[in-house]
Structure 1
């Protein structure tokens, strides 16, 4: 794989929330996309880098506009640096997000610059968390069982819900029938293990190729085939989950950051701040386990009150949290009752308003009393806290805190420089995982 990466295209991961970083280490992350910022990332000796677009939190038109802006800036920077690029739309391993919108936009911008796209590689696998594709069907591990993704709580998402577990059918569903399931190529586990990768090298005219992954070895074979096809002139755009990121940049599964390295990153003088925005059931159970394991000060923003009068709620929460950080871990959260709008647009608007209040509060807390570290729980929350609360423009992913999940960033610019930032998706880990992460950080 390392040899295949020599001379390969540098891959830009347009990450629709920050959780795509949790399977890798020592890659740059940008939350801004000026040409100069992208040039900085291109000058680092890495196989690729992330641009945090946070598009999963945006309405479709805004998501499309942001993707277009990022791709245009990347192409301009690549021209200045003499770099050849591949583009990945990194999204959710449980199929929530703007598809095929985002790959459509990337393809359109490339076409406007005279660059064709032969195929869209679809691979949502996240093996570390038990999200795999076998026989064209995407599965989610729940306890000891594999459950078709359409039968999980993720498929009932207020904004990005769906009914199909077979990826080809999901593509037809999400494209409104524009891309029929019959036109989606399925690269199966059997194909991969037989070394039959013709569906990659032979794809043309933007065909979607859904790639199975039962384990990381399958993905390494697929990526090797992708790299060989690209070297032969085939052009891909990738729509992928976290495991593809690791394989495409040539990294293997690695252990979490060791205690010594963690101690060098986390500084004393205060306790940590955990910011929770996720509403999935697992997050609520993780919070309950954290409460069983250690005492903390819970500062809660009441969602109905936030929607009516946010400033009073924010001021109260900042004062409580800043006072408590000197002697205690602080958990900042919103009330657990999910408030939905009348339709998708209204639900997104409520989510944005609540997220804005949460991140405003988190930023004011950090300004009033700098914590030892910040953990952000939830994909969109992680993005908003990074960009809005802490002003992180450039950072390095330093690795995970648990095997294959929960990444730690080291900000290298702005007010957050030197403040360890932990990205913790809402839908990963066991019920003990949040408590395990906090135990490691508090010990450090």
Structure 2
């Protein structure tokens, strides 16, 4: 069933306001009573788009998870990059992660909460990831999960859940998620926008929409904590809890009731976008990063932008970047992947040209050929293998850099993950903050190829049309 688009102004004018000062005081108190270590499993590096001052580990070894447990911060992130995995790889990774979390929690005598941070437009290995986590934790501990919280609200990206329907904002319109380009994703597609129906669809009918628990905007804005807490206390058999939200206030009110339910013995798994992590982790608001905060080593070298994502928003931002006088452009013809020798020559050309531009103090944008490689419906596996080869080649551009750029921007979730972990060889990074709403920046660790460099992780589906150009111009060593 199609749901009509809705006007942002009309929808938001009909939602009652809440006493934000009171909510702020209440959430602060409740978080002090919440002694869980929060481990956020990020299926691409964009999940840190609401936080700052937290660690991101790029592998899930027991050693690293133990380090995360020992940190003073209540929360740390583990980058899984599982959106780029097959189902089998995802299963294996999440079994290992869950086992290591249980072992580290036991060693540190600490209770924990796992948040599976997925895409705010509902793509990813769901419900596979949370089911594997649930089964593994339950098999290796005495924890039994009562339910799963589904909360894809992400204000910075214009993702709102209203009347249980998840929307993506396009200018002044709210479009149901199931009617956007994201729902047509070749790997993670779906048809439903109503989150209960979406969870039913994704679970192949194992969980029925009519039996799920729905946390309404009405009860959130009325601050009816007792009702919400009771709803959560009643959840059993790993049933789904759909949380409506249009503002951080809604997430804060929900979290107050949630912590109360958890402190009474309830156990939940979480599938959420980036907003919940900020609230549960008690992360304060922070101004957007300035050029001065990001450009610490005052090099005369140019910066590097790598564009891998093919979603419509990226293409629009790329077209806008072309209007900038701040950038030299290098196209990487990745379709030559079908001819290995030619592909190797093309990669060498791109690497050499990129090095020269950076050394000359010029900003360079390397972009993959914009047409998708399509071998036809019957050759999907082959296509996937080639896409991995392409991704490895794009990553190797950074790996083979001989000069340190003044900054690096990667456009697209999987692209930015591969460049961070393989190209820059980051083991642990600190989230410096955001350069634009929903666009995070890592400061790389001492072990990486370029220690202390500002690495901008620019999600494919986030930002205004001009954001990429404006960010590049802001970071450029030239003045505009």
TM superposition score category, shorter chain reference: over 0.9
Q: What's the CA shift string for 1:53-93, capped at 9, x where partnerless?
A: 00001111111111111121122222222222110110100
Residues of 2 paired with 1:125 and 1:351: CA distance? 30
* Aligned equivalent of 1:110: 137
Select the residue among 140, 146, 167 that pairs with 2:174: 146
Residues of 2 paired with 1:442 and 1:201: CA distance? 53
Gaps of 5+ in 2: 1-26
1:406 aligns with 2:406: no
Residues of 1 paired with 2:172 and 2:124: CA distance? 27
Residues of 2 paired with 1:275 and 1:351: CA distance? 16
Select the residue among 36, 39, 62 that pairs with 2:63: 36
- The alpha-carbon deviation at position 191 of structure 1 amounts to 2.3
* Aligned equivalent of 2:30: 4
Between stretches 218-227 and 349-358, larger displacement belongs to: 349-358
- CA RMSD in angstroms comes to 1.6
- The alpha-carbon deviation at position 345 of structure 1 amounts to 4.1
- The alpha-carbon deviation at position 412 of structure 1 amounts to 1.8
- The alpha-carbon deviation at position 22 of structure 1 amounts to 0.9
Residues of 2 paired with 1:413 and 1:4: CA distance? 36
Gaps of 5+ in 1: none
Q: What's the CA shift string for 1:297-352, capped at 9, x where partnerless?
A: 22222121024323222111111100111231111121000123526545533432
- The alpha-carbon deviation at position 262 of structure 1 amounts to 2.6
1:317 aligns with 2:350: yes
* Aligned equivalent of 1:69: 96
Between stretches 387-396 and 242-251, larger displacement belongs to: 242-251
3-state secondary structure, aligned to 2:120: coil
Aligned length: 440
Residues of 1 paired with 2:385 and 2:243: CA distance? 34
Residues of 2 paired with 1:321 and 1:258: CA distance? 26
- Check whether the contact 1:275–1:375 (CA below 8 A) recurs between aligned residues: yes
3-state secondary structure, aligned to 1:314: helix
Q: What's the CA shift string for 1:106-126, capped at 9, x where partnerless?
A: 100111022111110000111
1:359 aligns with 2:406: no
Give the alignment of 1:307-386 within 5 angstroms. 307-309=338-340, 310-326=343-359, 327-341=361-375, 342=377, 345-365=381-401, 368-386=402-420
Residues of 1 paired with 2:368 and 2:136: CA distance? 38
Between stretches 108-117 and 248-257, larger displacement belongs to: 248-257
* Aligned equivalent of 2:184: 156
1:284 aligns with 2:318: no
- Check whether the contact 1:5–1:47 (CA below 8 A) recurs between aligned residues: no
TM-score (norm: length of structure 1): 0.95
- Check whether the contact 2:326–2:473 (CA below 8 A) recurs between aligned residues: no
Residues of 1 paired with 2:385 and 2:64: CA distance? 30
* Aligned equivalent of 1:270: 301
1:93 aligns with 2:138: no
TM-score (norm: length of structure 2): 0.88
- Check whether the contact 2:295–2:454 (CA below 8 A) recurs between aligned residues: no
- Check whether the contact 1:333–1:358 (CA below 8 A) recurs between aligned residues: no
3-state secondary structure, aligned to 1:375: strand
* Aligned equivalent of 2:219: 191
Residues of 1 paired with 2:393 and 2:211: CA distance? 44
Between stretches 229-238 and 190-199, larger displacement belongs to: 190-199
CA distance 1:41–1:307, shift in 2 (3 Å): farther
- Check whether the contact 1:307–1:354 (CA below 8 A) recurs between aligned residues: no
CA distance 1:293–1:32, shift in 2 (3 Å): same
Residues of 1 paired with 2:129 and 2:346: CA distance? 36
Residues of 1 paired with 2:121 and 2:408: CA distance? 26
Residues of 2 paired with 1:275 and 1:14: CA distance? 25
Q: What's the CA shift string for 1:360-419, capped at 9, x where partnerless?
A: 122212xx12111111110011110001101000011010001x3211111223133212
Q: What's the CA shift string for 1:27-48, capped at 9, x where partnerless?
A: 1100012111122222222121
- Check whether the contact 1:91–1:97 (CA below 8 A) recurs between aligned residues: yes
- The alpha-carbon deviation at position 254 of structure 1 amounts to 2.9
Residues of 2 paired with 1:352 and 1:177: CA distance? 32
